[in-house]
Amino acid sequence: MAHPKSTFIRPLPGEALPIHNRPDEWKIEQGLSGGKLPILDQTGSETRIIAPQKWPDVVKDEAAIKAVGDPEKLFKRELEGWKGYVEWEDYPEKKNKARRILAAQNFPPNPEFQMGPIPDSNPVLPGTHWKMWHHAVGGELTDVPEDSWATVLREKHPEMLHLLQFPYNGEPPKRLVTDKAVTPNSLHFVRNHGGIPLIDKQKFYFNLDGLVANPRSFTLDDIMDEAKFPRVKKVVTMQCSGTRRIEQISLYAGQGDEVPQAPWAEGAIGTAEYVGISLKKVIKACGGLLEGAKHLELYGAETYFKDNDVMNYVVSVPWSKVKANEVLLCWEMNGEPLPAIHGFPLRVMVLGYIGARSVKWLYRIKAIENPSLAPVQSKEYLYFNQQTGKYNQKPTDGIQIQEMPVSSAIMSPWTKQVVFHNGTIHCKGWAYSGGGRWPERIELSADGGFNWYAVPNSSMSPKHKWTWRTWEFDLPCDVEGWVEIVCRCWDNSLNTQPLTVRAAWNWGLHVTSSAHRISVYSVNKSHARTKEKLQRFVEMDSPLAPLTWPEEFPTQSWEEYKQFWKDNDPRDVDD
């Protein structure tokens, strides 16, 4: 990338001139292949160039791996009837063995998806590392990536957009996100952090331990006993803190791991009716909490990886949230048993929190003093200040993301779309606020956020404490050309959204809560000239789309052209 010192040698006539710069240099210079850009180090007396990492060859110390032992024995199924479940948290020595296996080899890099072009494929990203890590540890984990994908294909709608194949992350296409106010199970987004355990309902139980008076375990039959636990039925909207992350990625690249930072669009939100019981009652059934207990740690049976450490999926919620009956243990989703991909047979539903706290395949609840130190809770899902990033971040800089702030999104039209209309553009979308707040007003702007129209109440779905509202609106738009349609919501606490992505951009690319902006090319047929010109496209059989394809006919006669410059000032003055 440094200015080459080579002399410019003029070749002999007819001889091809060698091109010295990289074929893709123009794109690199324009930030269109940003992953290939070197760092400029201006901290010394001369600017130094630090080239991007060259990936080392894949190396594997077979002897060191073999010395660890037989994976089939070391990492076996923890419980009969729990396919894909390996217990890690109870066995530090087992964790250590898996760590030795991972540390004895390296893995090829994940594909760059932020600074390079996102692939034209579905699944969009493969989940390279996570598949390899499962296969490398082996034992009960060996078949997990393939089993999980089979579950995706069995349980999810054929129209799902598969963002990440493994661990499975998928969302419905825009046209289906707000198609129904309650999302069908097959179309509900899925954001898994590991493989999908396949659990035999008859063999299922979970433990409640830690700082409780009487630790014990519960089967499904136990918690379904309505004499002991009042049953709760609730329509709940769940949102991933990664929803709309693609907007942050498109502005600035951030932390680039495939799994923690999957490039979600606006579909990582879904609404379903759940049946279950309040976790508070289960704790009561254990005699209540002991002195000092202030948080509940929740354990999921899937395997999670972080910095060569292998573990189960563990997060925590504060006791205050449980005490308010806002943490449920659920077994039914939209009138059906939970799908395997959504946590069968039992999952947590933390109302108004990010989806990551609603642990699936729940097998343990532990009462503890402080928020969990498990890395998903302590080191990920952190909301950093804009000045925090790769070269200076510490986990204590981040706000732990629990409740989601107010947000909204436009589901139609789509950004970059051309819309022919008669003076109003028909828009549809959703709005949501976490923590039990709800959308009170939804506003749209066709001028980038200068003037705002309110969506009438009659065009919004009914309001409820824990759910989104879907909406439709005919947005007045006189102007033609590229317009910026912006949507924002005000919740019942009068919280509203930051107006720009930059105002809320953060290194972990979480919580894209800024007003949703799309660029639409407005063609207003109520303007006489536009109407006439559209007619001419039809007469001339000239393609209307794509926008970039030019008209294939003269757009003005010479007669009209010359008359115009007679009637008006000269086109180019000369005196």
Footprint of a copy of itself on residues 319-348 (CB under 8 A)?
Answer: 319-321
Letter string b/e over residues 250-272, b meaning 16 or more CB atoms within 10 A of that residue's CB: eebbbbbebbbbbbbbbbbbbbb
Chain-centre distance of CA 524, in angstroms? Answer: 35
The only residue of 420, 459, 464, 495 in contact with a copy of itself, by rule CB under 8 A: 420
Is residue 473 within 8 A of residue 390, CB to CB? The reply is: no
Structure tokens at 188: 């509900």
Q: Which residues pair with 105 in a beta bridge?
A: 60
- Residue choice 98, 196, 265, 359 for contact with a copy of itself (CB under 8 A): 265
Q: Which stretch binds a copy of itself (CB under 8 A): 10-18, 91-99, 217-225, 331-339?
A: 10-18
CB of 78 to a copy of itself, least distance (A): 25
Among 167, 254, 352, 355, which residue interacts with a copy of itself (rule: CB under 8 A)?
A: 254
**Contact call for residue 92 and a copy of itself (CB under 8 A):** no
Angle at 453 between CA 449 and CA 458, to 5 degrees: 140
Q: In angstroms, give the least distance from the CB of 181 to a copy of itself.
A: 16
Using CA atoms of 304, 309, 314, 319 in order, give the dihedral in degrees to the nearest 10: -160
CA terminus-to-terminus distance, the chain: 50
Q: How many residues bind a copy of itself (CB under 8 A)?
A: 159
| Residue 370 in contact with a copy of itself, rule: CB under 8 A | yes
Do 361 and 300 contact (CB within 8 A), yes or no? yes
Single residue of 291, 458, 546, 569 touching a copy of itself by CB under 8 A:
546
DSSP string, 7-29: --PPPPTTPPPPP-S-TTHHHHH
Q: Which residue lies nearer to a copy of itself by CB, 73 or 529?
A: 529
Tell which one of 105, 255, 459, 495 touches a copy of itself (CB under 8 A): 255
**228 to 247: interface string for a copy of itself, x by CB under 8 A:** ------------------x-
Query: Alpha helix (H) ranges present in 368-518?
Result: 375-378
Under rule CB under 8 A, residue 89 binds a copy of itself: no
Tokens of 210: 């830690």
Q: Which region, judged by CB under 8 A, interacts with a copy of itself, from 46-54, 133-141, 190-198, 431-439?
A: 46-54
State yes or no: residue 98 binds a copy of itself (CB under 8 A).
no
Phi, psi values for residue 198, rounded to 5°: -110, 105
Residue 50 beta carbon to a copy of itself: minimum distance, rounded to whole angstroms: 5
Binding to a copy of itself, residues 269-328 (CB under 8 A) = 294-295, 307, 316, 318-321
Contacts to a copy of itself from residues 485-544, by CB under 8 A: 502, 505, 507, 518-519, 521, 523, 525, 527, 529-530, 533-534, 537, 543-544
- At its nearest, how many Å lie between a copy of itself and the CB of residue 211? 13
In the three-class reduction of DSSP (H, G, I as helix; E, B as strand; rest coil), residue 185 is classed as: helix
Compose the 111-150 pattern: x for residues touching a copy of itself by CB under 8 A, - for all others.
Answer: -x-xx-xx-xxx-x-------------------------x
Element (H, E) at 73: helix 71-74
Give CA–CA dist 468/217, Å, rounded.
Answer: 35
Is residue 59 at the binding interface for a copy of itself, with CB under 8 A as the rule?
A: no
Quick one: 114 or 358, whose CB is closer to a copy of itself?
114
Closest distance to a copy of itself from the beta carbon of 381 (Å)? 12
Kindly indicate which of the ranges 43-51, 137-145, 329-337, 462-470 contains the residues binding a copy of itself, using the contact rule CB under 8 A: 43-51
45 contributes a contact to a copy of itself by CB under 8 A: no
Q: Are strands 198-199 and 190-191 parallel, antiparallel or unpaired?
A: unpaired
Stretch that binds a copy of itself, among 71-79, 87-95, 129-137, 394-402 (CB under 8 A): 394-402
Shortest distance (Å) from residue 514 CB to a copy of itself: 15
Coil, strand or helix at 530:
helix
The token pair that represents 348 in the structure block: 């947590």
Q: Assess 451 for contact with a copy of itself (CB under 8 A).
A: no
Find the shortest distance in angstroms from Cβ 325 to a copy of itself.
15
> 384 φ, ψ to 5°?
-90, 160
Q: Does 180 bind a copy of itself (CB under 8 A)?
A: no
Residue of the chain from 131, 134, 156, 360 that contacts a copy of itself (CB under 8 A) = 156
Whether the CB-CB separation of 166 and 127 falls below 8 Å is answered with yes
Q: Under the criterion CB under 8 A, does residue 37 sit at the interface with a copy of itself?
A: yes
- Residue whose CB is less far from a copy of itself, 105 or 530: 530
Per DSSP, helices labelled H in 331-463 are 375-378
Q: How far apart are CA 129 and CA 258, in angstroms?
A: 9
What is the rounded CA–CA span in Å between residue 438 and residue 457?
A: 13
* 3-state DSSP assignment of residue 117: coil
Helix/strand/coil for 218: strand
Complex with a copy of itself: residue 494 or 547, whichever CB lies closer:
547
What are the residues facing 83 on neighbouring strands? 198
Tokens of 249: 């990625």
